Amino acid sequence: MKGLFSIVAALLAFSCQVYCDGPINNNLFYNFTGSEQQDPVQIIYFVVGVSVAGQIGDVCAVGVSNETAGNYCQAIFNDIYPPGFVSVNGSIGYPDFFEYFSENYNYSYTNVSCSNGYSSCTGSQTSNCTASGGLLSIQCSYITPECYPGQTGLNNYVNVSNGPGLFTVTGPPTICVDGSFLPVCSGVSLSHIDVSRICLYSLGISSGFVGAPSGVVVPPLNLTRDLGRVVTGFECTGLTNCTNTTMYGDCSPNGYATLTCQKVCADSDNFTLFSNQTTMVELNGISYYIGIPQFCAGGTYARVCNDGTNYPYGSIFCRGAGFAFGNLLPSNSSLAQTLYSGSPQGIIYFSNFTCSGTDENCDNNPSFSSNPQCYTGQLETILRCSPGIPCNGSKLYLHNNITRIVNGREIVSGIPIYCIDGAFYASLRNDGSQTPAVLNLFCQSMGFDNNGVILSHDSSVYGTAPVGTAYYSSFSCPLTANTVDDCDALSSTNQQCLAGTMDLVLQCSRAASTVTPSVTSRPTPSGSASVLANGVTVSVLVALILAVLLLA
């Protein structure tokens, strides 16, 4: 008999590596006494001790109900596992060989009650539990966790390759509830953020859609354990804040939901201006292309929702798509739904994309948009982009310029526009930051004398800079500067600039030759009556920030 006890003790010592003696805030104590497996149910046995009036003692069976035993079990498992990880049922129960276990403490208590918490337990002290029903043993039964809270998955999925590194994964979605994966019923409303949450936490892919791609046959549900319980509701208000509802039964008559997670692009793919057709308009003699800015983030197509939380980044995104400049159009434009139609499935939308100071200083922590209007084309970002006016060798000119001859001087005034990357699209912001030295350098770069003067902006005379023109302020030029090539400047985000109400009008002059006064809206070939630029390109930092928006 002594040898048998030694074997039992050795086995229990091994099991105690997981369920060791455990004090809970020095008020509730538990000791592992045995376990058994009735797959998928695991049963663990404990004896318990409590502190009454500061003295720790064993709990005797007399006066303890199954409900009290269940409370002990839940407290113990909340100590062993993270709260909510395991749902446990408890009752009074004894393992095999329980007779070999003796009391652990110098005190014993009957009729123990901890209804006001384990720090204030009460009970009647007795010398031992022999005459009080013996030492209390509780059995705690639970389903062995196969997943953790918040985990999702695709059950028995099929993987279809669509090229190098591109694929779709399709199958029935499952949600972890009380440690087990439960299937989701067809007809459960899954929003775009719900789908993104399931795909992200299942496969590390940030997007997908409800249903299956054309031609893909969905395999049948094949659960590791079928508990006869299903998910009838699932909703996420963010990627980490989700709730679900369940019921016992099956998903008859509609069956189980089908979900597809996808990787359809590489994050290194070029930024594009999406539309289901090439849309081009002519405005003031300049070609503009209209579409929806689209890029790749986390392996899926991504867009920015025009929900009022984002920086007005028209020119930034147009430059990212290979254009010179551009601007935003209203989401309720008549073109919005036309452009949205034909959009690929599973697009994700971002909010809270902001910039401050300069184009290069932008927020790199945008959030998933939860507004359903973002996903139905009602809040699409619509861009009007232009390749700009080709510079044709000229680097600087006065837009909508007026030429006069006064006392033998040729005087030309207009809105200065300069060339960056082969197209005219940058101008000066009339905010008082442009110094006389900078203005003189601008005039000098166009072949005029060093006598630049700022004039009042009369839009009826000079109009405005081309739609989408970028604006710069605070030009800084070293004393040794010969042209604006040697200067640097800051990009301006002032909305008055983008609206054309802060255009700077510059006047330059030089000794007159035979010139016919004229008005022109763009640079013309050398020898015409218009003022032409003779300088070289402005050295302004215009780094694209598109990579800022992509998810790290």
Round to whole Å and give the CA distance between 372 and 349. 10
Residue 383: the pLDDT is: 86
4 in helix, strand or coil?
helix
Burial class (CB in 10 A: 0-12, 13-18, 19+), 371: middle
CA terminus-to-terminus distance, the chain? 65
Burial 331-354 (b: 16+ CB within 10 A, else e): beeebbeebbeebebbbbbbbbbe
Residue 514: the pLDDT is: 58
Residue 493: the pLDDT is: 62
State the virtual CA torsion across 36, 41, 43, 49 in degrees, nearest 10: 160
- From residue 354, give the alpha-carbon distance in Å to each of 274, 474, 491: 22, 22, 15
One digit per residue, the tens of pLDDT, for the chain of length 552 reads: 333 333 333 333 333 333 445 567 678 899 888 989 887 788 999 999 999 988 999 999 999 999 999 999 988 988 887 776 777 899 999 998 888 788 889 999 999 998 888 888 999 999 999 989 999 999 999 887 888 777 888 999 999 998 888 999 999 999 988 788 999 999 898 988 889 889 988 888 888 999 999 999 998 999 888 778 899 988 877 666 778 888 998 898 889 999 999 999 988 887 788 875 566 777 666 778 888 888 888 888 999 888 888 766 677 778 777 787 777 888 876 777 788 888 888 999 988 877 654 444 555 567 888 888 888 888 988 888 888 777 766 678 898 899 999 999 999 999 998 877 667 767 887 888 888 888 988 898 888 998 899 999 898 899 888 766 777 777 888 888 877 777 887 776 666 776 667 889 999 999 987 544 444 444 432 222 222 222 222 222 222 222 222 233
Supply φ then ψ for residue 111, to 5 degrees: 50, 45
Residue 538: the pLDDT is: 23
Tokens 């699932």, residue located? 234
Whole-model pTM: value is 0.61
- Find, among 128, 138, 134, the residue nearest to 32 by Cα: 138
